[in-house]
Amino acid sequence: MFGNKIKTITDFIFIKHQLNQKGLLIIPGTHRESLMKKALKVYQKGFAKYIITTGGVKNKQGVTESQEQKNYLIKHKVLAKIIFSENKSTNTKENAVYAKKIIKRYKLDDRVLILIGKTYHARRLYMTFKKQFPNSDIRIIPTIDDRNITRNNWFKDKNKTRKVFEVVRS
């Protein structure tokens, strides 16, 4: 019985979509390099013409998430002119709200949004962006970050379980 509940929760939270068409690539606020690497791979495979980096939280050096993401992409040969950035957001909801402002301002195509996120953040990411972009086909491309939280281990470690169920207020 407990196994069925874990499977149900896992299937709900740990979503993953296939990429089958080009879209607008968005990296929700993060300083985690694993997400930047995944975004770069998606871009290099030709799935995105434009990229939006988001996040205003600063690291120890005072660099915002968005700027760090942009720096990483440029360092890996992505042209600066195809990267749009916002550096005000402090949570997932604000990532979506500010990304929407960029999309409107620059008239970017939002029919397909490709979001790079942490495995355990996938459902929240999807639901938050779907609220801001109800008519968009949202594709969640998750990656495992340094916390190593996966659909197969999140329930085996209390710290991982806490992270999966973390309540975030926005």
Q: Is residue 11 part of a domain?
A: no
pLDDT value at residue 3: 73
For the sheet with 23-27, list strands across it.
83-85, 48-53, 23-27, 112-118, 137-143
Q: Is residue 12 part of a domain?
A: no
> Can you give the residue range of the structural domain that contains 57?
28-164
Q: What is the pLDDT along the chain (170 residues), one digit of tens a residue?
A: 457 899 999 999 999 999 999 999 999 999 999 999 999 999 999 999 999 999 999 999 999 999 999 999 999 999 999 999 999 999 999 999 999 999 999 999 999 999 999 999 999 999 999 999 999 999 999 999 999 999 999 999 999 999 998 866 55
Q: Give the β-pairing of 112-118 and 83-85.
A: unpaired
Q: Is residue 19 part of a domain?
A: no
pLDDT value at residue 168: 64
Q: Is residue 107 part of a domain?
A: yes
Predicted TM-score of the model (pTM) = 0.93
Structurally, the chain folds into a number of domains equal to: 1
Q: State how far the Cα of 148 lies from the Cα of 113, in Å rounded to an integer.
A: 25
Q: Is residue 8 part of a domain?
A: no
Q: Is residue 2 part of a domain?
A: no
Element (H, E) at 115: strand 112-118
Element (H, E) at 140: strand 137-143
Domain harbouring 60, CATH code: 3.40.50.620
Query: Residue 16 corresponds to which amino acid?
Result: K
pLDDT value at residue 121: 94
pLDDT value at residue 1: 45
